[in-house]
Structure 1
Amino acid sequence: MAGLRLGLWMKYLAGFRLAPFVPTPEHVGLAMLKLAGVCPSDMVVDVGCGDGRLLISAAKHHGARGCGLEMDALLAKQAVSAIEREALAHMITVLHTDALHASSQLQRASVVTLYLSDAGNARLLPHLQRQLPQNARVVSFCWPFQDLTPSRIQRVDGIALYLYDFNALHNSSPS
């Protein structure tokens, strides 16, 4: 696993990823889902889903369907395996794809979860502004969207979670 993480950090530093792979702690993921008000009618899209843990929590604890976007093939396979072990494949799909090319998934999202980077959020924002449906919510762990005002901020272990609603995203001009 250490080799995988080092390789993903190198891809991030070279500009090929929106963020390095750093797993979201389970209690932080649960707080993100609660802050976004995830419910059974939601479609949660996890950008950079890694090993799928946030999607599994959304399905198990909130009854929500999910779609993971992961550009690293090995992580996408790990996420699929974890989802199958939890018997949640009927609720969650994982796509081996770049989030910047996943417009149809973003168009179906009612909640988007992120743990990217400042630069990753900046690159993704125009796609969110163009693709997200009305009433969608975006929750970002650690990194805010620059020049946007979050609807709410919550701290977990001293680190901020930022919640943005559709209006906050769309009342700013796309980059």
Structure 2
Amino acid sequence: MNDNPSRRKLLLLGAASAGLGMLPAGAAPAHSDTTAAAPRLDVPYVPTPQQVVDRMLALAKVGKNDVLYDLGCGDGRIVVTAAKQLGARGTGIDIDPVRIAEAEDNARKAGVDKRVSFKVGDLFEADLSGASVVTLYLLPTINTRLRPRLWQQLKVGSRVVSHAFDMGPEWPPKKTATVEGRTLYYWTITEAQKKKAKA
């Protein structure tokens, strides 16, 4: 793959800076079943350098027995890298069909299309229960909205890695790392979180 922007994220804030326009306060996340020619993107499609991708996967210790879900997968770089370099299986989810088509093409070119899949979908409706690792690059507002879903659906011991943004004070990271001036955050799902999600 080349150095084209590697990921487009679902976020409710920050869109104005990319000329996409700010959504009204309290606006619902975009859904994949919209009838418009192009989906409404809640955040611009932004690049994740390959060095950051590699460090995210290393931080989560992704291996051949893992199933990685990348939320807001863009061109599929994280999923493809995990499959090609580490032997993992993976699923990428993105609301933009153009990005999903690009990700599928990249997987074919890398020879890992039998190990990965990509879906057009809404992160807040996706079934994440099959993942042992979840990667994401989302703003804090979206991270905190996703947090209960991660606690509910992921198994104890599953790992979560976020590029640039944390999950709020209710879920401090287990580890952090810095690469290319960017902060990465790492968590594992615990029994305590599962209990909180059920409460």
TM-score under structure 1 length normalisation: 0.87
- 1:26 equivalenced with 2:54 (yes/no): no
Task: Name stretches of at least 5 consecutive residues in structure 2 with no aligned partner.
Answer: 31-40
Report the Cα distance in structure 1 between the residues aligned to 2:194 and 2:149, rounded to whole angstroms: 14
- 1:41 equivalenced with 2:65 (yes/no): yes
Show the counterpart of 2:34. Answer: none
Show the counterpart of 2:37. Answer: none
Q: More displaced, 12-21 or 29-38?
A: 12-21
Show the counterpart of 2:36. Answer: none
- 1:160 equivalenced with 2:179 (yes/no): no
Q: More displaced, 162-171 or 64-73?
A: 162-171
Show the counterpart of 1:57. Answer: 81
* Residue correspondences, number: 169
C-alpha distance 116-168 of structure 1, shift in aligned 2 (>3 A): farther
Report the Cα distance in structure 1 between the residues aligned to 2:125 and 2:152, rounded to whole angstroms: 12
Q: Is the 8 A contact 2:156 2:191 kept in 1?
A: no
Report the Cα distance in structure 2 between the residues aligned to 1:168 and 1:141, rounded to whole angstroms: 24
Q: Is the 8 A contact 2:51 2:180 kept in 1?
A: no
- 1:77 equivalenced with 2:101 (yes/no): yes
Correspondent of 1:13 among 19, 22, 46: 22
**By how many angstroms is 1:23 displaced?**
2.2
Correspondent of 2:123 among 92, 96, 99: 99
Show the counterpart of 1:67. Answer: 91
**By how many angstroms is 1:169 displaced?**
7.7
Q: Is the 8 A contact 2:66 2:132 kept in 1?
A: yes
Report the Cα distance in structure 1 between the residues aligned to 2:66 and 2:188, rounded to whole angstroms: 14
Q: Is the 8 A contact 1:20 1:116 kept in 2?
A: no
Correspondent of 2:172 among 149, 156, 160: 149
Report the Cα distance in structure 2 between the residues aligned to 1:69 and 1:19, rounded to whole angstroms: 15
Show the counterpart of 1:112. Answer: 134
What's the Cα RMSD here? 2.5
- 1:125 equivalenced with 2:147 (yes/no): yes
**By how many angstroms is 1:99 displaced?**
1.3
Deviations 1:17-40 (A, max 9, x none): 564321211010000000000000
Which of 1 and 2 has greater Rg? 2
Identity %: 34
SS in 2 for 1:37: coil
C-alpha distance 45-165 of structure 1, shift in aligned 2 (>3 A): same
C-alpha distance 108-37 of structure 1, shift in aligned 2 (>3 A): same
Q: Is the 8 A contact 2:152 2:194 kept in 1?
A: no
Task: Name stretches of at least 5 consecutive residues in structure 1 with no aligned partner.
Answer: none
